[in-house]
Amino acid sequence: MKKTFLKAGLFLIALSALWSACKLENIANPNAPDQINLENGGATLNDLRLLATGCEAVLRVDMEFYYWTVNIVGREYWDLRNTDPRYTGELLGKGGGGLDNNGFLTTRSYSARYRAVRSAWVQIHAAQNSTATLTPAQRNGFIGHARTLMAYSLLLELNRQYTNGIRTDVENPDRLGPFRTYTEALRDIREMLDKAYDELNGAEFLFTSTLGDVNRVRQFNRALAARVAMYQGDKGAMKSFLQQTWLNLDGNMDDGVYYVFGAGGNNLFNPLYTVPFQTAYVAHPEFVANAEPGDQRFDKKTTQLATPFSTDGLSGDVQVTLVASNIAPFPIIRNEELILMWAEAHIGSDNAEAVKAINKVRAAAGLGNYTGPTDDASLVNQLLHERRYSLFGEGHRWIDMRRYGRLDQIPKDRPGDVVHEKFPRPLLDAE
């Protein structure tokens, strides 16, 4: 009897001992570093480097949804791959339909651009709060770099949202800033760029940027500022900003900053690469028809097909082949665009300089000088033509036509099709 009580007692004691040994500690995430920890001062120098690199890498995430949507709405090319009916339906306003404010055509790009903005804020907070030994110049290198990239991402999405406006202050995800009108948002972005430009002044990069060294990133900042000024119609600012970039009328058209890609690991392939003769991205017939004979820009970016791709009432036999391989870089902004902005900035004040710049671009494309009239209106027409071919597929045509009030000149291919003016504000931001 006693023995059994002893046994039971021992058993219970063993159990309760076991239980007190059952204290559970939180398990740290074995799969990834923690954002909160990084932002709150836990970032080492090496973490800051990782974040800076990440800020550049994240620009590539879902970038294709930006370029596809903007280029297709601008009728630069069509997506006839049949992978999703909305590329030839919703995006081209088939049957007079609008864009779904909760469909991927609207949300994928939007959320990816703001993800890049969030990553930039994490980098800024991490750099501000890091306990790593950093000089102010080094700290500012991280911060100015992030802020420049943040402005770029906001500008891209503003292009799509246009007069819906966007939020420019999203530092605190629990207290998002107000929606700013198109004009206000452009102003905010320009201020953001100016602030970053100051931060980068004398700054030091402790990381390897795919964009270039500190000076190139500062120049990139100014190139973006010039774009903003162009959208604002502020030609004076455009000129002065452009002079602070790598603009070179005699330089290589392709000198610039790029999204870069690579194979393997956590790298990404270029999502805009199209397999020749296989991936059904087809240049718009008007783009083909209006190309000047011998325009190397056309030849470089397209491939003639033997049999056309067709679907959903659309058909074309000129395939879009923007880049040479699936690891080839894709331009963010390059000298050719800077030259064309230079030309645009001078139309109305120094048309000869504008013609000179246009001719530089034409010469590089293997074309003769511009010989048409040089009044402002004619030059704007010519400028838009050159921008169309120089910057084909780089996301400009639709915005150019819009800012010159010419959306009605964009061809509609089927009865009932519509050219969208802007993308709807995503449902969740609207609610």
Partner 1 sequence: MKYRLLFQTALLAVLMLIGVGALHAQFTATGRVVDANGEGLVGATVAVRGTNRGTSTDLNGNFRIEVPAAAGTLIITYTGYKTAQVDVSSNNAQVDITLEEDLAGLDEVIISGLATNVKRANLANAVATISARELTGITNQSTMDGALYGKFRGAEIRANSGAPGGGFSVRLRGVTSIFGNQQPLYIVDGVFVNNDAITLGTNIVSAAAGGGNPSTNQDDASNRIADLDPEDIETIEILKGASAAAIYGSRAAGGVVIITTKRGKSGQTRVTLSQSVGFSQPIRLLGMRNWTADLVEQEFGPADRALFEQNGLTDYEKELYDNRPLLTATRLDVSGGTDKTSFFIGGTYRDEGGLVDNTGYKKLSGRVNIGHRFNDWLDVYITNNYINSQADRGFFNNSNTNTTIGYAHAFTKPWLKLKPETPGGDYPAVPSVGSNILETVALVTNREQVNRYIGGANINVRLWHNDNNELKAVIRAGVDQYTLHTTAIFPQNLSYFRNPGTLGGVSIAGRTLNTNTNLWGFLVYTHVSKGGTTWRTQGGLTAENFDQNTIITTATGLNGSQTNLDQSGAVSVFHRRYPQKDRGFFVQQEINWKDRIMVSVGLRGDKSTNNGNADQLYYYPKANVAINLHEFGILPSLFSQAKLRAAYGQAGRFSNFDDRFNPMVATFIGSSNGLYTATLRGNTEVGPERQSELEFGTDLGFFKNRVVVDITYYIKRIDDLLLRAQIPQSTGFTTQVVNAGGLENRGIEIGLDLVPIRTPNFNWTSGISFWRNRSEVTRLDVPPFFIGGFALSLGQYRIEKGLPATTIVGTVPRDDPEFGTASYKIYGDAEPDFNMAFNNAFSLGRFELNFLIHWRQGGDAINLSTLLWDLGQLTWDYDDKTLDPTGQLGNGPYRVQQWNANRNTQPWIEDAGFVRLREIGLYYNIPRRVFSDRLSLRLGVSGRNVLNFFKYNSYDPEVSNFGNNVLANTVEVTPFPSSKRWVFHLTANF
- Positions 272 through 291 that interact with partner 1 (CB under 8 A): 273, 275-278, 280
User: Rule CB under 8 A: is residue 8 a binding residue for partner 1?
Assistant: yes
Query: Stretches 31-39, 350-358, 387-395, 403-411: which one binds partner 1 (CB under 8 A)?
Result: 31-39
Member of 45, 170, 237, 407 binding partner 1 (CB under 8 A): 170
Q: How far is the CB of 391 from partner 1 (least distance, A)?
A: 23
Please identify which residue in the block is written with the tokens 């900035």.
Answer: 345
User: Rule CB under 8 A: is residue 128 a binding residue for partner 1?
Assistant: no
C-alpha closest to that of 396 among 314, 317, 340, 312: 340
**For residue 142, which phi and psi values (nearest 5 degrees)?**
-65, -40
Q: How far is the CB of 380 from partner 1 (least distance, A)?
A: 34
Query: Stretches 67-75, 112-120, 180-188, 385-393: which one binds partner 1 (CB under 8 A)?
Result: 112-120
Member of 119, 140, 148, 159 binding partner 1 (CB under 8 A): 119
Total residues at the site for partner 1 (CB under 8 A)? Answer: 105
User: Rule CB under 8 A: is residue 363 a binding residue for partner 1?
Assistant: no
Measured CA to CA, the distance from residue 343 to residue 327 in angstroms comes to 32
Q: Which of residues 75-104 bind partner 1 (CB under 8 A)?
A: 81-86, 89-90, 94-97, 100, 102-104
C-alpha closest to that of 166 among 151, 145, 181: 181
Cα distances from 310 to residues 49, 81, 412, in angstroms, run 47, 9, 16
- Beta pairing partners, 316: 309
Q: How far is the CB of 317 from partner 1 (least distance, A)?
A: 12
Q: Taking a C-beta distance cutoff of 8 angstroms, is the pair 257, 221 a contact?
A: no
DSSP per-residue letters across 240-294: HHHHTTT--TTS-TT-EEEE---SSTT----TT---TTTS-EEE-HHHHHTPPTT
Provide the pairing of β-strand 256-259 with 281-283: unpaired
Write the single-letter amino acid at 42.
Answer: G
User: Rule CB under 8 A: is residue 352 a binding residue for partner 1?
Assistant: no
Measured CA to CA, the distance from residue 135 to residue 122 in angstroms comes to 19
Member of 29, 131, 133, 371 binding partner 1 (CB under 8 A): 29
Q: How far is the CB of 212 from partner 1 (least distance, A)?
A: 11
User: Rule CB under 8 A: is residue 133 a binding residue for partner 1?
Assistant: no
Q: What is the CA radius of gyration of the chain?
A: 26
What string marks each residue from 201 to 240 as x (binds partner 1 by CB under 8 A) or -?
A: ------xx-x------------------------------
Query: Stretches 138-146, 308-316, 343-351, 382-390: which one binds partner 1 (CB under 8 A)?
Result: 308-316
User: Rule CB under 8 A: is residue 306 a binding residue for partner 1?
Assistant: no
